[in-house]
């Protein structure tokens, strides 16, 4: 039996896992707060330190991380997270600084922020970045707010529509709605790219701008990019670059040079900061010169060698408590310094080489809908020879049995059986060859042993889950769980 306990189930009344100093001023009593106090104690665990450590160690074994094995999750850029970055984020003074400290005592912190934003600007071909946005989706929202503010600043109040290709990540349309603008979705052409005629048909003086991922979510470079940005600019709109796939472009193309005015970068993808099970990430937003004054407050400015905090009048406002996920930013800067200009040039090329090698070696057994070279990720549309109608889901689950994480599946939505594989540049030829062998073996199993695939995974801590039950029963807490057990359903 694998470890199967909740922390609450290790609890015994009176047991403790902490030690705190003795009271220094016992004459004061919190009970003087009387009716401001809660009437019952919070239901929290009462466990020893060892029990706590052992519990979380045991449940950690149920996770697959980048250091466990290959993690080809498309669109997520699961590259190696260097150890030096972790060390730096913990050992120096940065974790112990309060952002309201006198400016003279935080010069190093302000300088790191300023140097990182400047490095990102140079890598992107833009003028300036804010690092205050907490994540990719947050960056999108902030970028769209800047787009809207720009038009309003120019008294162009009609521009309220944002063009988004149907292949875009779901956050693009969702962020547009939150920014108070409307989405105009345009269909992709049969090559999965922006259809120029469809684009021309929606351009008008109501267009605030267009959001684009390039390479797009099919892993394909939009070769008409110059024409796209020209058309949108001519119509008075701004171009927003969704940096989700920036990894492929490192060392090869700068978004600013493609004609983009605003972009966000996912530091947790391209700049190697750990994904942390889903955060904390960081989503800096960069803009061209004419939009700098709209960047959110607070901003960090430099005068000679002195750094200071400034709030700008034309800014969109404040979008975070302080300066974003600062320690994540610090890790990304450590990565940029470590690689330097020489090695940054190789990130895109090596990630693209790895993806195309996989593309070539799997196309015999997996349906390849797009014939051009891919960029940093390759999308297949399910198995090629598939007499037993094995689904992409089954292939993905079987991969877990072989000790690898599954690729992204059923996205992009343009194909029915999408398998999106992103190897990143940090994987060796041996690892990639092993993945290819395994994928081809699974394709063979699909013909000879389909039931094993349908029931996979068989070696993981749990097997496939009942998601309908979860949505129906809505058991979100230990309290709900105990009530459910009590009901005996």
Instruction: Compute the half-sphere exposure of residue 63: CA atoms within 13 Å on the CB side of its CA.
Output: 11
- Report, in angstroms and rounded to the nearest whole number, the Rg of the chain calculated over CA atoms: 25
Q: Does 73 bind other proteins (CB under 8 A)?
A: yes
Count of residues that interact with other proteins, criterion CB under 8 A: 200
**Long-range Cβ pairs for the range 90-99 (8 Å, 24+):** 94/326, 94/327, 94/330, 95/327, 99/322, 99/323
Minimal distance in Å, beta carbon 476 to other proteins? 5
Cis peptide upstream of residue 295 (ω within 30 degrees of 0)? no
Q: Does 92 bind other proteins (CB under 8 A)?
A: yes
Containing H/E element for 346?
A: helix 326-362
Minimal distance in Å, beta carbon 391 to other proteins? 15
Which positions from 239 through 258 interact with other proteins, judged by CB under 8 A? 251-254, 257-258
Sole binder of other proteins in the list 127, 337, 367, 381 (CB under 8 A): 337
Minimal distance in Å, beta carbon 434 to other proteins? 13
Instruction: Compute the half-sphere exposure of residue 4: CA atoms within 13 Å on the CB side of its CA.
Output: 4
Q: Does 183 bind other proteins (CB under 8 A)?
A: yes
Sole binder of other proteins in the list 245, 266, 270, 325 (CB under 8 A): 325
Q: Are 282 and 332 in contact (CB under 8 A)?
A: yes
Taking the least distance from each CB to other proteins, the nearer of 304 and 387 is 304
Q: Does 38 bind other proteins (CB under 8 A)?
A: yes
Q: Does 157 bind other proteins (CB under 8 A)?
A: no
Sole binder of other proteins in the list 127, 156, 178, 231 (CB under 8 A): 178
> Which residues have C-beta within 8 Å of that of residue 252, sequence separation ≥ 6?
348, 349
Taking the least distance from each CB to other proteins, the nearer of 29 and 387 is 29
Distance CA 281, CA 306 (A): 28
Taking the least distance from each CB to other proteins, the nearer of 100 and 387 is 100
Taking the least distance from each CB to other proteins, the nearer of 282 and 386 is 282
In whole angstroms, how far apart are CA 48 and each of 23, 263, 400? Answer: 22, 48, 34
Minimal distance in Å, beta carbon 184 to other proteins? 10
Distance CA 129, CA 117 (A): 5
Q: Does 97 bind other proteins (CB under 8 A)?
A: yes
Sole binder of other proteins in the list 165, 173, 236, 284 (CB under 8 A): 173
Q: Are 52 and 9 in contact (CB under 8 A)?
A: no
Of 38-46, 195-203, 237-245, 379-387, which segment contacts other proteins by CB under 8 A? 38-46
Q: Does 175 bind other proteins (CB under 8 A)?
A: yes
Taking the least distance from each CB to other proteins, the nearer of 326 and 447 is 326
Cis peptide upstream of residue 8 (ω within 30 degrees of 0)? no
Q: Does 387 bind other proteins (CB under 8 A)?
A: no
Phi, psi (rounded to 5 degrees) for 412: -65, 160
Q: Are 218 and 187 in contact (CB under 8 A)?
A: no
Parallel/antiparallel/unpaired status of strands 299-303 and 306-310: antiparallel
Sole binder of other proteins in the list 72, 74, 82, 237 (CB under 8 A): 82
Q: Does 238 bind other proteins (CB under 8 A)?
A: no
Taking the least distance from each CB to other proteins, the nearer of 189 and 356 is 356
Which positions from 7 through 26 interact with other proteins, judged by CB under 8 A? 7-8, 11, 15-18, 20-21, 23-26
Taking the least distance from each CB to other proteins, the nearer of 183 and 203 is 183
Q: Does 67 bind other proteins (CB under 8 A)?
A: yes
Taking the least distance from each CB to other proteins, the nearer of 102 and 488 is 102
Other CB atoms within a 10 A radius of the CB of residue 141 amount to 24
Distance CA 209, CA 183 (A): 10
In whole angstroms, how far apart are CA 45 and each of 8, 38, 48? Answer: 5, 18, 10
Tokens linked to 411: 């996205």
Distance CA 348, CA 122 (A): 16
Other CB atoms within a 10 A radius of the CB of residue 373 amount to 14
Q: Does 366 bind other proteins (CB under 8 A)?
A: no
Taking the least distance from each CB to other proteins, the nearer of 287 and 336 is 336
Sole binder of other proteins in the list 80, 189, 231, 367 (CB under 8 A): 80
Q: Does 287 bind other proteins (CB under 8 A)?
A: no
> Which residues have C-beta within 8 Å of that of residue 200, sequence separation ≥ 6?
231
In whole angstroms, how far apart are CA 322 and each of 88, 96, 128, 311, 319? Answer: 21, 15, 18, 12, 9
Taking the least distance from each CB to other proteins, the nearer of 252 and 385 is 252
Which positions from 190 through 219 interact with other proteins, judged by CB under 8 A? none
Question: Binding string to other proteins for residues 128 to 147, with x set by CB under 8 A, is what?
Answer: ------xxxxx-xx---x--
Which positions from 395 through 434 interact with other proteins, judged by CB under 8 A? 396-397, 400, 405-406, 408, 411, 425-429
Q: Does 99 bind other proteins (CB under 8 A)?
A: yes
Which positions from 450 through 489 interact with other proteins, judged by CB under 8 A? 455, 457, 460-467, 469-471, 473-481, 484
Minimal distance in Å, beta carbon 149 to other proteins? 8
């Amino acid at each position: 039996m694998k470890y199967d306990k909740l922390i609450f189930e290790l609890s015994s009344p009176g047991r403790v896992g902490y030690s705190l100093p003795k009271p220094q001023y016992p004459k004061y009593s919190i009970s003087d707060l009387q009716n401001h106090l809660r009437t019952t104690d919070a239901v929290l665990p009462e466990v020893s330190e060892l029990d706590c450590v052992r519990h979380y160690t045991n449940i950690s074994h149920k996770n697959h991380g980048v250091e466990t094995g290959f993690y080809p999750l498309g669109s997520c850029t699961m590259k190696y997270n260097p150890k030096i970055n972790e060390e730096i984020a913990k050992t120096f003074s940065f974790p112990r600084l309060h952002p309201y400290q006198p400016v003279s005592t935080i010069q190093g912190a302000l300088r790191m922020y300023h140097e990182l934003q400047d490095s990102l600007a140079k890598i992107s071909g833009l003028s300036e970045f804010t690092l205050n946005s907490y994540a990719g989706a947050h960056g999108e929202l902030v970028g769209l707010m800047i787009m809207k503010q720009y038009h309003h600043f120019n008294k162009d109040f009609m521009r309220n529509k944002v063009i988004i290709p149907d292949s875009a990540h779901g956050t693009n349309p969702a962020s547009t709605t939150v920014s108070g603008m409307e989405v105009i979705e345009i269909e992709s052409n049969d090559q999965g790219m922006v259809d120029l005629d469809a684009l021309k048909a929606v351009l008008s003086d109501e267009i605030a701008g267009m959001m684009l991922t390039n390479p797009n979510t099919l892993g394909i470079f939009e070769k008409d990019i110059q024409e796209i940005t020209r058309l949108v600019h001519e119509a008075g709109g701004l171009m927003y670059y969704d940096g989700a796939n920036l990894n492929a472009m490192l060392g090869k193309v700068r978004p600013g040079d493609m004609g983009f005015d605003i972009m966000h970068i996912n530091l947790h993808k391209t700049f190697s900061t750990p994904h942390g099970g889903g955060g904390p990430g960081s989503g800096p937003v960069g803009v061209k010169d004419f939009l700098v004054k709209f960047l959110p407050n607070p901003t960090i400015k430099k005068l000679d060698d002195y750094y200071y905090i400034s709030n700008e009048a034309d800014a969109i406002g404040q979008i975070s408590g302080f300066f974003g996920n600062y320690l994540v930013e610090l890790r990304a800067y450590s990565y940029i310094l470590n690689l330097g200009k020489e090695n940054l040039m190789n990130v895109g090329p090596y990630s693209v080489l790895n993806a195309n090698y996989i593309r070539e070696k799997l196309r015999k057994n997996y349906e390849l809908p797009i014939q051009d070279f891919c960029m940093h990720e390759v999308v297949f549309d399910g198995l090629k020879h598939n007499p037993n109608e094995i689904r992409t889901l089954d292939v993905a689950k079987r991969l877990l049995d072989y000790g690898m994480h599954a690729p992204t599946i059923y996205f992009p939505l343009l194909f029915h059986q999408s398998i999106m594989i992103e190897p990143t540049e940090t994987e060796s030829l041996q690892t990639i060859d092993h993945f290819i062998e395994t994928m081809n073996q699974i394709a063979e199993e699909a013909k000879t042993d389909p039931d094993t695939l349908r029931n996979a995974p068989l070696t993981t801590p749990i097997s496939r889950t009942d998601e309908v039950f979860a949505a129906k029963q809505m058991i979100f807490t230990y309290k709900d769980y105990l009530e459910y057990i009590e009901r005996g359903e």
